[in-house]
Structure 1
Amino acid sequence: MNASKSATLSDDTAYESASAMTPLALRTAIRRGEHTGPTTGYASGYLQGNLAILPNSYADEFLQFCAKNSKSCPLIGMSEPGSPFIPALGKDLDIRTDLPGYRVFRGSADYTSVSDLTDIWRDDLVTFVLGCSFSFEAAITRGGVRLRHMDARRNVPMYVTNIQTAAAGRFHGPLVVSMRSFAASDAIRAILYSDRYRLAHGAPVHIGDPAQIGITDIMKPDFGNEPVIEEGDIPVFWACGVTPQMAIRNVMPEFAITHEPGLMLVTDVLAEAAEFSL
């Protein structure tokens, strides 16, 4: 993950300021290189999205993959071939510049991390924007439940599981989950709040023992930062929009782009639009 001038917010005042940013202000800061880190806690109340960009020849199959795996891949926006714009998500939004970090794949599991796609954009690319669990975090905190990774100014931890997604054509692979830990009473409330946001993954897919879903060491996530887990906490796992990255790696198209985990597209769509949407 890219180093960031803004990933660590040194005090509560700065953190509250980040939460109050408008999506446009945040995207502008990203375009200028002033924000290069995770978007968790920023522009509270607005829908955030994961990114998958593929050549048009793969678009139909990937769309089927999203339809078959709507829990991990809730589609909130899709571009026309070659267009870097999705007006329904933001009139000024530009896919090429408005995420803090991207991963560019060229026919292998290896990738290059970049902060701007302008020079490598192609006229056959189709962008898919998928809902993100960051979108329900504001509802959880508004309900009085603290999120440990946000309090620690960290990216949420993410793990590859032994749960397989439903295959669609060439696309297949394991489910990726994000984890947040809570005291028991808070876990129940967090689950109820998140279930309202079906376009942001909705309710969790697993609660409790991480080994049951193939996670051998919860302190060593595959993506994101090391978790903050207090004594007596219950780990709660949500489907994660990094899941398509695993499916794309299995297909290995000659060209593909995803977001850096935790570095999302922040849209102008209010998160309430994700309530009870499926």
Structure 2
Amino acid sequence: MEVARLTPAQARARFRHGEKAPTAGWCAGWTQANLIAVPEEYAGDLERFARLNPAACPLVDVGEPGAHSTRWFPGDLRTDLPGYRVYRDGAAREHGEVTGQWREDLVPFLIGCSFTFEEALLAAGVPVRHLELGRNVTMFVTSIACRPAGRISGPMVVSMRPIPDRLVATAIEVSRRFPHAHGEPVHVGDPEEIAINLDKPDFGDFVEVRPGETPVFWACGVTPQVAIMVSGVPYAIAHLPGHMAITDLPADRPPGEVRRAARPL
């Protein structure tokens, strides 16, 4: 795929100039991340929620209040993703860019994405069906409750990949090496055990599970979007699911210590 060979800066420039596409398969070798930006008064609760639920919300980066970029994302968070959602009082609207919606009290959080380890899956001989089909990954809201933090609570969201039965152990071992991109799966097998109907994704595209394959579920960074909706956070900006922030952090490198900066006095 031509987009796999792009640098993060090249991909961000294409998005800034209007290209819109799910980012699975883009920028091989670089960390992709979920964006969630909340008002500063909710940032402490969201940071604690992420630290209490590291499988769903592995922190890659946090910006200062009002910041348009972060340490690992030197582009513009308002324009350099291929799709956004703006949440107002629980209702979401999609946007191509959010310059006019970005507020000075917003604290941006970047949370790891499982797209980051898909190149490693392919290198290990594990097929990735949504890449083969040119589709977005399949995502579901589950019955798994996240640990609450202050005013933030909600269920875990997962992404699903059909894995050949003989390669499930390989997929688990490969993804385990990427804790900053959700790490190993949170569930393998029967989707009904976590209240999922495979025919009805909540986000992304439908992907068939064929005979001889096992549905494997990884925690997903869309979890905070569902949490802020059910928790009544009045305003937030996030990525459109599957349309990620592509960072300058190498895929195989942990992000290091992540700390939220306070607004200067």
With normalisation by structure 1, the TM-score equals: 0.90
Alignment match, 1:105: 87
Report the counterpart of residue 30 of structure 2 in structure 1.
Answer: 46
- Note the C-alpha offset of 1:275: 9.4
The 2-side partners of 1:204 and 1:160 are apart by: 15
Contact 1:177-1:237 within 8 A present in 2 as well? yes
1:126-176 per-position Cα deviation (integer Å, ceiling 9, x unaligned): 000000000010110111221111101111100011010000001111110
Name 1:141's counterpart in structure 2.
122
Q: 1:276 to 1:63 in 2, by over 3 A?
A: closer
Q: Any conservation in 2 of the 1:180–1:236 contact (CA below 8 Å)?
A: yes
More strand by share: 2
- Quick one: distance in 2 between partners of 1:265 and 1:162? 27
In 2, Cα distance between equivalents of 1:185 and 1:275:
32
Residue 207 of structure 2 corresponds to residue 222 of structure 1 = no
Indicate whether 1:130 and 2:111 are aligned: yes
Q: Which residue of 2 aligns with 1:6?
A: none
SS of equivalent residue, structure 1 residue 140: helix
2:160 corresponding residue in structure 1: 179
For 2:118 and 2:192, the matched residues in 1 are separated by 25
Which residue number in structure 2 is paired with residue 206 of structure 1? Answer: 187
Distance 1:183 1:253 in 2: 40
Name the structure 2 match of 1:243. Answer: 223
Moved over 4 A (4+): none
Any conservation in 1 of the 2:154–2:231 contact (CA below 8 Å)? no
1:269 aligns with 2:253: no
Is this contact kept in 1: 2:73–2:246, CA < 8 A? no
- Decide which of 81, 85, 92 is 2:65's aligned counterpart: 81
Shift of 1:276: 11
Distance 1:274 1:224 in 2: 27
Q: Hey, what's the Cα distance between the residues in 1 that align with 2:109 and 2:7?
A: 23
Alignment gaps of 5+ in structure 1: 1-15
Cα drift, residue 254 of structure 1: 2.3
Q: Does the 8 Å CA contact 2:89/2:232 hold for their aligned counterparts?
A: yes
